[in-house]
Structure 1
Amino acid sequence: MRAFLTILSFLCTFVATGNAIVCEDCLNRNGRNCTGQSIDCGPGVNKCEIVIVESKFGNLESVYNIFKGCARPPMVLYDDYQEMTQNFTYRMRTWFCDSDNCNKGDNRVDFLPRNDCPNGVVCPACFAPGSSKGCEPKGTIQCAGSMKACMYFAGAGRLGEEVHDTSYRGCVNIRSRSQFPNFPGETIVRIDRLEITKGSRQGAEV
C-alpha cells in the first residue's frame, strides 16, 4: 500500500510539472516593450500575462511600464484599472493567454480608448506627493468614464526606477478594496491606508 501511494504521489507531481506553462519574463519601467528569458511557471500556473501601466502628472509626458511573466494570483478582476486625482492619472491594463510563450515578442496589448467625459460622480480630492501620512480634501474632483467610486490611498509607489511616498484622494473604477489589483513589479511598494467608498452625484451616493 505504501509503495502504491509513493508511485501515485510521483505520478501526480510528474503530471503537475508536465502541465506547467512557459512564459516570457521581463520588465521595463520606462517604456512599452521588453524582452526576456522564457521561464517555467511551475505547478498550478496555467496562464502568462502582459501588464502595461501609464502614469501621468499634470501636463508632463506619460511614463509607461510593461511587465511580462507568469500570471500572478489572484487573477485581477479588472483588466482595465483606472484612477485619477488632482494633476495625476493612472491606468493599468492586464492581458492573459494560455499557451507556452504566448506573451513573447512585441507588445500586443494597448489601453482601451481614454474616456475623459465627466460621468456626474464627484469625489473628495487631494494630492500630497512626498508624504504617506495622508491628506485632507482640498475640494472635489469630477470623475470620468468608468470611475464611479472614491479612493483614499497613502503609502509608497514606484515611478520608473524611483520609489516615492504619496497620499491622494480621487476617483477609481473599482467598487471595493477587495478588487484592488495585484500590481506587478513592486509598483505599489507599501500601503499604509486604502479606502474605497461610494461616489456622490449631486449630494446623493451612487
Structure 2
Amino acid sequence: MKPVIISIFLLCLSLHIAAALKCYHCHQRDSDTCEQKEIECPEGDTCLTICEEYKNNKTYHSLYKGCNSNMPCGVTPYGRATDQLHLLVNTKCCNTSLCNDKMYEMPEEEEPNGVVCPSCYDNTLKECRVDSMIMCKGKDDKCITIACTVENPDGSRGNYSAKGCMSALGCEMDLSQLIGVKILHQEFSYCTDPPEVLSEEENEESEGSDD
C-alpha cells in the first residue's frame, strides 16, 4: 500500500511543479532595458511587463517585469497636460513560462478624439492657472487637475501643478503603483467631465491650425 501512496504523492508533486509558471523579473527606472532573472510565480499568477513613459521637460522610460496577481492587463492609462508634461503606462500580461521576454514597448500614438480640456503647468503645489486648451487623444475622455511633489526617475525632485487630459482608467489608477516616477506627496488630484467636445469638422480644423 505504501508504494501506491508514494507514487500518488510524487505524481501530484510533479503536476504542481509542471504547473508552476516562471517569469522574467527586473525593475529599472530611467531605462528601457533591465537585467532580468527567472523567478517562479505563485499559483494563479501571470507574467507581467509594465512600460512607463514620463515626460517632465525631459522624457524618462522605466521598465518592470515580474509575476502578476492584481494589476490590470492590456491597459494603457495616459495623461497629458502640455507638450512638456505627460504620463503613459502600458501593461501587458501573458500566461506561458518566460513569455515576458520583450523589453520596452509602447503602442503607437493615438489620434485626437474631439475632447478638449483646460491646460496648464507650473512648479507649485497650488492650482495652476489655465492658459490654454488641449486636444485629448485616444481614450482620454476626462479632464484632470493635480498638484504633487514628484521624484523623477533620475532622482531629481520638484513640485508640479497641472491640468490636462486623462483616461477614465488613469483617473482610477493607484499612483503608488507607478514604476518610474514616484509621487512623494499629493496635494490634490481629481478628474472631471470635459467642458467641451468638438465635432469631427471642428476637430479637423483644429488639427489643421496646429500645422
Both proteins in one fold, TM over 0.5: yes
> 2:64 matched to which residue of 1?
67
Q: CA deviation at 1:197?
A: 1.1
Q: Amino acid of the residue matched to residue 52 of structure 1? A: C
1:76 aligned to which of 56, 72, 84: 72
Aligned equivalent of 2:142 = 149
CA distance in 1, matches of 2:93, 2:64: 12
Give the alignment partner of residue 100 of structure 1, picking from 97, 100, 120: 97
SS in 1 for 2:172: helix
Deviation readout 1:58-88 (Å, 9 max, x if unpaired): 5x5x321111112252x22761121111222
Could you list the runs of 5+ residues in structure 2 that have no partner in the other structure? 1-12, 199-211
Match of 1:132 in 2: 125
2:144·2:164 contact (CA, 8 Å) conserved in 1?
yes
C-alpha distance in 2 between matches for 1:200 and 1:31: 37
Match of 1:200 in 2: 195
Structure with the larger helix share: 2
2:79 and 2:172 mapped to 1: Cα distance? 16
1:26-79 per-residue CA deviation (whole Å, 9 max, x = no partner) reads 122222121223233435x51121111122345x5x321111112252x22761
- Show structure 1 runs of 4+ deviating over 6 A: none
Structure 1 gaps, min length 5: 1-13
Change beyond 3 A, Cα 1:156–1:21:
farther
Structure number with bigger Rg: 2
- Matched residue SS, 1:50: strand
Given that 1:134 and 1:153 are in contact with CA atoms closer than 8 Å, whether structure 2 keeps it comes out as: yes
Instruction: State the Cα distance separating 1:202 from its structure 2 match.
Output: 5.4
SS in 2 for 1:155: strand
Deviation at 1:200, TM superposition (A): 2.4
1:28: which partner in 2?
Answer: 28
Deviation at 1:103, TM superposition (A): 1.7
Give, in angstroms, the shift of residue 112 of structure 1: 1.6
Cα gap change, 1:124 to 1:72, in 2 (>3 Å): farther
Q: Which string of whole-angstrom CA distances, capped at 9 and with x for unpartnered residues, describes residues 91-118 of structure 1? A: 11111112333223x42x6222112x43
Q: How far does the alpha carbon of each residue in 1:109-141 deviate from its partner, in whole angstroms, 9 at most, with x for none?
A: 6222112x4332221222123x33442333322
Q: TM-score with structure 1 length normalisation?
A: 0.71
Contact in 1 for aligned 2:144/2:163 (Cα 8 Å): yes
Partner amino acid, structure 1, of 2:191: I
Kept in 1: contact 2:73–2:93 (CA 8 A): no
Report if aligned partners of 1:67, 1:184 keep a CA contact under 8 Å in 2. Answer: no
Distance 1:20 1:198, change over 3 A: farther
Rate the CA distance shift 1:193–1:54 in 2: closer, same or farther, 3 A: same
Question: Once the two structures are aligned, what percentage of the paired residues are identical?
Answer: 21
SS at match of 2:177: coil
Rounded to whole Å, the distance in 1 between the matches of 2:173 and 2:56 is 24
Conserved in 1, the CA contact under 8 Å of 2:115 and 2:194? yes
Q: Matched residue pairs, number?
A: 181
Cα drift, residue 174 of structure 1:
1.9
Partner of 1:159: 152
